[in-house]
Structure 1
Amino acid sequence: MLADDHHNGERVRLAAVRALELLDTPSDPSFDAIVALVAQHFACPMVLVTLIDHDRQWFKARCGLQATETSRDVAFCNYTIQSPCLLVVEDAAKDARFRHNPLVTGAPHVRFYAGYPISIDGRNRIGSLCIIDTKPRSFDASARTALVRFGGLVEDLVRLHTNELALKAAARKQKRENRELETKNRLLAQIERMAAIGAWSLDLETQRATWSDEIFRLHDLPVRNPPTLDEALAFYSGESRQTVETILNSAIRTGEPFEFAADFTTATGRRRRVRSAGQIETVDGLPARLVGVFQDITASHEAQERLWHAANLDFLTGLANRALFEKSLIANLTDAEAAHSTVTLLLIDLDGFKEINDTRGHQAGDDVLKAVAALLNERAPPNSTVARLGGDEFAVIVPVAGPRSRHRAIARKVLNALKQPFLAMGENIMVSATVGVASYPEDALHWKELLRCADIALYNGKRHERGAIGCYKPEISTLFDKRRIAIEKVERGIIGNRLMPFYQPFVRLSDRLVYGYEALVRIRNQDGSISAAGDFSEAFSDQRSCRRIGERMMSLVIADIANLRAGGINPGVISLNATEAELNAPDFAGRLLKRLHDCAIDPGTIKLEVTETLFLGSDTSGIRIELQKLSAAGILIALDDFGTGYSSLTHLRDFPIDQIKIDKSFVFGLDRNPESPAIIKALVDLAHALGMTVVAEGIETEAQYAFLRAIGCDSGQGYLFGKACPVSSVTGRRRQVPNFKSVACTPDTNNSRCA
């Protein structure tokens, strides 16, 4: 009995699929737009809209996949249609249902799948909207909600298609049945053209109207004598009524057919969207009647609105998305050119937004983004366009902004508005932002160039300080290009496994013994030469690049230590440099200590070098906590470039510092600046009084070495003892450096080994 029920249910479902007349139809721009939007929203490589036929699944729309169909017996979507809710497979390789599926074991190598069952009648699930990835991934509640909403859009498109089929069929049937009467022929022609639901006519001489029963229903009126023309027009709002009256009068006067869509309020107060079409009937060559059809198009209108919103508005904030922003910017520049006026573009980037996501969660981050969007909408100048370009970057297009001083005033108003705390997940969160400003036609004539100028201005503002306003100037374009080139160089180096640590020895000055090394980042170029950090220093102003470099260096250095020890070499203390971006990343200390534990490396053999700029922010509590965790585990903390920053004594007191490194500028000054010896001696004495050791950087001459040794400086590094070289040149600790200038390896003409 159960088998029969299942067979009957499948038969009904297949009939519903085929009744849609969608199988094997050409691609449709609306369905293609949906899958493109879904792919962009979920950052997923493959998105499909599928229909499940008897023995196959066919793709009505697809993104990231060349095939147009697959066998049903291997289709994940076959499982989706068996459930009224989402099917989510976070790792197909671990799912008993799919681990041996050829789509998992072979191309396209499915690992993650999430599918929404498509149904337009609430009973028959005809197919699915699904997202697919080649990597496992999690799928939280907000992602599930988003997929359900996109699935609803697909169902709206299918319903529109179904309605169109039904209305065309009804129109064809009406036309066949009523060919004998000329008036009905004209009405049926309109019904076919407009997919009409109700019909009406108006006698122009008597002003008497005739309505079908459906017309009464659409007005929420009982079937009785139709209202007068004035009473019927009263169902339209003020502006819509004027438009409808104008169209009807024009039709009567010219004899031309008419068609309009307008907002409409029924007798019970329901707001609807309606479409009407008709034409004049003549008797003896004179206008006698208006005849037409009337249709409630609210559902399709709202579906089109939802599609427009999905294509043009940011899903989270409701602001214009990047596509609408670009259209608006182009339109504003076109208008400004015609009116000989100006346009100001503001790019706004939230400072430290990633830390909000990392420390408080993505929901808190979303709350902040929505609050910022609402505030920008409220405070932006009249006629402005406010957009979210992605992530934590916003834009404001301000037409007719005036002189450059006015641009800065607008940017300052925006920044001041963002200085208030925002409520997110029950907490007040302070947010700051940096603004980049560029204007048309002063800075650029084309919209892409104007956007680039604003981006350059934003970067320049961030280089100086958070919360700054950066205004475009032609001379800063070079800096922007240098940053882009540096970031690309780092990215290519990481991808190509060409970013690596080089090691410069630390020498104990009392006996010139090597006791450890500093790991310095280098990139081996494709021609074999080596680039030092100075060649890509602009990349360090980009937090993502900083973190990428730090993660790569941490992994490689720990692996080098483990390999050296496995080969019987004890490299001594190895020093790593850490940036603000790394220390502000989630659980930096925990990740470093775990890697050391996994490789059985004593934390006491690691030294972490930080610069004083890390301590200059308004809230350094997070960095202090991370350093305290590392110090408690035995890792040494060194303050690099000591003496060149601000409030150094305060930092020595407030942070767990074990060692200071005297900046090489003081060592270089020993032979040139009479104050340098006194300053260095004072720094050494201060450090020793606080129980810290001292490393002098940049020692290049025997005279510098002799002085530093004489005043009790503990150790040093510099070209006198050795340049930074590959791990293959590391020979271990307690190697005595000869009493003459030498390096740990011999540089060649291409600078291919030493840097």
Structure 2
Amino acid sequence: MTEFRKKSENEVMQQTIKFFENLLRASTDGILITDATHNIIVANEAFCRLMGQQQRDVIETNLFYWLDQLDPHGTKRWTELVNDIYHKGSCRNVEFVTSSASRDLKYLSVNASLLEQVAIEETGVILSIWRDITEQKQAMLLAEQMRITTFLKDIGIALTRGNTLQEVLRHCADAVVINLDAAFARIWVLNKEKDLLELQASAGMYTHIDGLHGQIPVGKLKIGLIAKEKKPILTNSVPDDIHFGNKDWVKREGMVAFAGYPLILEERLVGVIAMFARKILPEFTIRALAAVADVIALGVVHKQDEEELRKSEKRFRTIFDSANDGILMIDIETKEFHTGNKMICQMLGYTPEEIQKLSVLDVHSKRDLPYVLEQFEKHVKREVAQAEDIPVKRRDGSVFYADINTSLITFAGKTYLMGILRDVTERRQTEEKIRHLAFHDALTNLPNRMLFADRLNLALAHAHRTKEMFAVLFMDLDRFKIINDTLGHTVGDQLLRGVADRLKNCMREDDTIARLGGDEFSLLLPGITREEDVNTIAYKIIEILKKPWMINGHELYVTASLGIVLYPNDGKDAETLLKNADSAMYHAKEQGKNNYQFYTSTMHAESLRKMILERDIRRALDRSEFVVHYQPFMNIITGQLTGMEALVRWQHPQRGLLLPEEFLPLAEDIRLIISIDEWVLRTVCIQNKTWRDAGFLPGCIAVNLSAHTFHQRNISGIVTTILKETGLGPQFLGLEITEGIAMQDIETTIQKLKAMNDLNIQIAIDDFGTGFSSLSYLKKISCQQTQNQSSLCEWHCRQSKR
């Protein structure tokens, strides 16, 4: 009996194993079992196909090996997933994205759970199910793009609906609520005479346009600040934002996000559009709202002009003869005109007597006539006609577009078709402008990021079919920020328009030049047959931008850095090409600017190195890996210690002790230098106080300040707070800045140094003399701030008096 039971149990076990093996083979999802050290115990064929490998090459390997090839962040994500499962014991989900140049873009969804029943070395194993969700992801991205396109179309339609500005803007607000899932949306229009923002439309949970926010002074509340500064305000944390005072309302209504944009047309403030949402605003929402703000601004101005015209006509014309529309009575049998008002005479260019001698055949071209006659019969039969503008020919042969509404009337026993014609040529031009604004940069009239992306995708599809090569160039102006900050946005804008014009002169007819924003431009060069073609164009761009610019009496010089990628060598999809072009452009900047660089695979490695270094710098602050070394200053005659200079070093856990030049430049780029400088200041003050309390008197210890730290608005307040918290006397702290920092903004520098001097803090200017033209300011600085603390200052004070 016992042997029979064992035999039955073995048969059940064999059947179970066979069932599990069939399940592994049949599953279209990847199935994986790994142990606590991430070694692969079981992997079905579907998983191996996802990795692009044979099953025999995957079994008994470590999962980290495949994750590193799959996703740069794959190992980290998997480790976090597994740790969470072991601690919480729950089933978890994570997504991986293949982003290497050697793989097509792919999205993988992974569900994993702990199998405690199967234990290896007393630890349960991890069962994970891997599924390819690339199609779903791409469909989602396509859906978002379609939503933006639909949104822009809805706004365009809204701007053509309604007789009044309020009606038009109410349709626009409705479109914002519907397309962007807003709780409510509002639009204010500027009253220039009263300097007030007047609420014209509200949609969603609030539809009234009176009350507390019916009129908002420019500069007051969030909406008024947007109008005053002409800058958008965006937040996805409304409950935590101190600028939203009514916290009870925020909590009660569940408001999470807010977006407000100024309505600006040709640098003129028109109004403000704003929305609240009960969920976080995704990136596409913000892009769409920003584009729509410009479109609505154009529509507001157009509608204001239209309403003003309508009011004027009502004052000076009778109902019929002053009508804004042309009116015609047409014989339905002969199609001859019976009569028309003054407006139709003006529209067509005929006298009232001449109108009565014309017919439908006389005011339409031969090309349009068949369609017009078809529509005429539909109107006569009262059938639904297509809602389309009709081209009408004037006496002089020119053509305008008319929106025609008709009705049948009986006059003197005869039936006529009465047509009311509205000239919609201007509206059509406005719609064209709206479409143009949606896909072009308002400042330079170049294609914008959205249109460039569309043309890049078209180029990819064409090149894939024809096996042709094309190039993408990223360009950044090297000294634009200095010019823009120093001479103002008006000069900066004129310079950008000039750059756009010069670029157009370098390009071929089929090339695309786009402004991505700020001083960044992108170029698409189709039909490239060899790399030398791109060399020629890039060199031409570098040379033509070198030439001086005369703007508002200023002779300006700018150069450009360009990064170049070639399809298909440097990428086979838009994302990869754009990413690699950006890497090449930054490499050009690192090579001294004013040059162009073709993308190479080593640039990707360099970008990865910088990314890792940035991550390590951020961690170093939290892990206290920075250390301060002190270099003594000695009197060579007496041998007495006169002071010290603090030198920051980084004790990297893997790379050992790093000198400043190995990490400070990147820290400045990512603005972590301010935190490092403040840490050094605090550390030096604590150490100096500790030494002095122990009887060791090191004198004044100097700390080097970076440009970012020194030019903070409250630098004196930061230093004062550190001195107060550490208990160190200000006379024992010295601050050292370079001549270049001091000369960036001489008046601001003088104010900051005077504030330091008032605190009795010693100031030193390092590297002085490298820019001799700045010596004219030295007396002004030294006499007010440094109090002759260096021999150079003393020399300059003497020289300046001679």
Which of the five TM-score ranges fits, normalised by the shorter chain? 0.5 to 0.7
Per the alignment, do residues 621 and 397 of structure 1 end up closer, same or farther by CA in structure 2, a change over 3 Å counting? farther
- State the alpha-carbon separation in 2 of the partners of residues 153 and 503 from structure 1: 58
Give the one of 496, 503, 506 matched to 2:628.
503
State the match for 2:645 in structure 1.
517
* Residue in structure 1 matched with residue 93 of structure 2 by the alignment: none
> Among 754, 757, 760, which residue is 1:600 paired with?
760
- Flag structure 2 segments of 5+ consecutive residues without an equivalent: 1-161, 191-197, 230-241, 277-290, 309-323, 408-415, 708-737, 795-802
| Match in the other structure for 1:129 | 272
Letter in 2 for 1:461: A
Q: Which amino acid aligns with 1:129?
A: V
Residues 516 and 573, structure 1, Cα contact 8 Å, conserved in 2:
yes
Equivalent position SS for 1:344: strand
One-letter amino acid of the counterpart of residue 174, structure 2: D
Cα distance, 1:630–1:88 mapped onto 2, change above 3 Å:
same
Whether 2:459 is the aligned partner of 1:459: answer: no
Could you say what secondary structure the match of 2:482 adopts? helix
Name whichever of 586-595 and 405-414 sits farther off.
586-595
Name the CA shift for 1:311/1:221 in 2 (closer, same or farther; >3 Å).
same
Q: Residues 165 and 300 of structure 2 are in contact (CA less than 8 Å); yes or no, is this contact kept in structure 1?
A: no
Task: Determine the structure 2 residue equivalent to 1:244.
Answer: 368
Question: Are residues 1:414 and 2:552 paired?
Answer: no
Give the whole-Å Cα distance in 2 for the aligned partners of 1:77 and 1:352.
43
Matching of residue 153 in structure 1 with residue 298 in structure 2: yes
Partners of 2:545 and 2:449 in 1: CA distance? 22
* Structure 1 residue 406 displacement after superposition: 1.0
**Residues 253 and 336 of structure 1, relative CA distance in 2, 3 Å threshold:** farther
Instruction: Report the counterpart of residue 202 of structure 2 in structure 1.
Output: 60
Structure 2 residue 424 is the aligned partner of structure 1 residue 297: yes
Letter in structure 2 aligned against 1:332 = A
**Given residue 218 of structure 1, which amino acid in structure 2 is its aligned partner?**
M
In structure 2, relative to structure 1, the CA distance for the partners of 1:520 and 1:132 (3 Å cut) is: farther
Question: Aligned to 1:343, which of 443, 449, 470?
Answer: 470
Specify whether residues 536 and 478 from structure 1 end up closer, same or farther in structure 2 by C-alpha distance, changes over 3 A only: farther
> How many residue pairs end up in the alignment?
517
Residue 283 of structure 2 corresponds to none
Contact 1:198 1:215 in 2 (8 A): yes
Residue 479 (structure 2) aligned to one of 338, 352, 370: 352
Secondary structure at the counterpart of residue 353 of structure 2: coil
1:272 deviates by: 4.5
Kept after mapping to 2: 8 A contact 1:344/1:437: yes
Residues 278 and 21 of structure 1: is their aligned pair in 2 closer, same or farther, counting only changes over 3 Å? closer
Q: Which residue of 2 aligns with 1:29?
A: 175
Classify 1:269/1:49 alpha carbon distance in 2 versus 1 (closer, same or farther; 3 Å): farther
Q: Deviations over 1:636-663 (max 9, x none)?
A: 999xxxxxxxxxxxxxxxx9799xxxxx
The answer for unaligned runs of 5 or more in structure 1 is 1-15, 37-45, 92-101, 119-126, 134-145, 164-194, 234-240, 280-288, 639-654, 659-755
**Deviations along 1:125-147, whole A, 9 cap, x unmatched?**
xx9635799xxxxxxxxxxxx99
Secondary structure of the 1:400 match is strand
Q: Match for 2:529 among 367, 378, 402?
A: 402
Question: Is the partner of 2:760 in helix, strand or coil?
Answer: coil
Which structure's relative contact order is higher, taking Cα pairs within 8 Å and 6+ residues apart?
Answer: 1
Checking the alignment, whether the CA contact within 8 Å between 1:343 and 1:440 is kept in structure 2 is yes
Task: Normalising by structure 1, report the TM-score.
Answer: 0.53
- Rounded Cα–Cα distance in structure 1 between residues aligned with 2:573 and 2:258: 44
- For residue 353 of structure 2, what is the aligned residue in structure 1? 224
Alpha-carbon contact 1:516-1:572 (below 8 Å) kept? yes
Residue 512 (structure 1) shift: 9.8
Query: What TM-score comes out, normalization by structure 2 length?
Result: 0.51
How far off is 1:400 after superposition? Answer: 1.0
Which amino acid in 1 is paired with 2:465? A
- Counterpart among 505, 510, 517 of residue 390 in structure 1: 517
Matched residue type, 1:77: Q
2:445 match: secondary structure: coil
- Given that 1:50 and 1:129 are in contact with CA atoms closer than 8 Å, whether structure 2 keeps it comes out as yes
Please state how far the C-alpha of 1:49 moved relative to its aligned partner: 1.3
Structure 1 distance, partners of 2:430, 2:340, is: 27
Structure 2 letter corresponding to 1:49: I
Superimposed CA distance per residue, residues 336-391 of structure 1 (whole angstroms, 9 cap, x where no aligned partner): 33333222111110012111122222222122111111221232221222111111
Query: What secondary structure, in the 3-state scheme, does the structure 2 residue paired with 1:444 have?
Result: coil
Q: 1:277 to 1:621 in 2, by over 3 A?
A: farther
Asked if 2 retains the 8 angstrom alpha-carbon contact of 1:199 and 1:212, the reply is yes
Whether the 8 Å CA contact 1:348–1:394 is kept in 2: the answer is: yes
1-structure distance, mates of 2:225, 2:349: 41
Query: Is the counterpart of residue 378 in structure 1 residue 494 in structure 2?
Result: no
Alignment identity in percent?
A: 18
Tell me, in whole angstroms, the C-alpha distance in 2 between the residues paired with 1:459 and 1:273. Answer: 50
Displacement after TM superposition at 1:458 (Å): 0.4
Contact 1:489 1:536 in 2 (8 A): no
Distance change (3 Å), C-alpha of 1:536 and 1:297: farther
Render the CA deviation track for 1:693-727: whole Å, top value 9, x for unaligned: xxxxxxxxxxxxxxxxxxxxxxxxxxxxxxxxxxx
Change (3 A) 1:103 1:601: closer
Q: Hey, what's the Cα distance between the residues in 2 that align with 1:24 and 1:249? A: 37
For residues 320 and 439 of structure 1, the distance between their equivalents in structure 2, rounded to whole angstroms, comes to 21
1:427 Cα deviation from its structure 2 partner: 0.9
Secondary structure in structure 1 of the residue aligned to 2:593: coil
Instruction: Indicate the residue corresponding to 2:576 in structure 1.
Output: 449
Separation (CA, whole Å) in 1 of partners of 2:199 and 2:514: 39
Contact 1:518 1:574 in 2 (8 A): yes
Answer with 341-350 or 304-313: which moved more. Answer: 304-313
- How far apart are the structure 1 equivalents of 2:701 and 2:564? 48
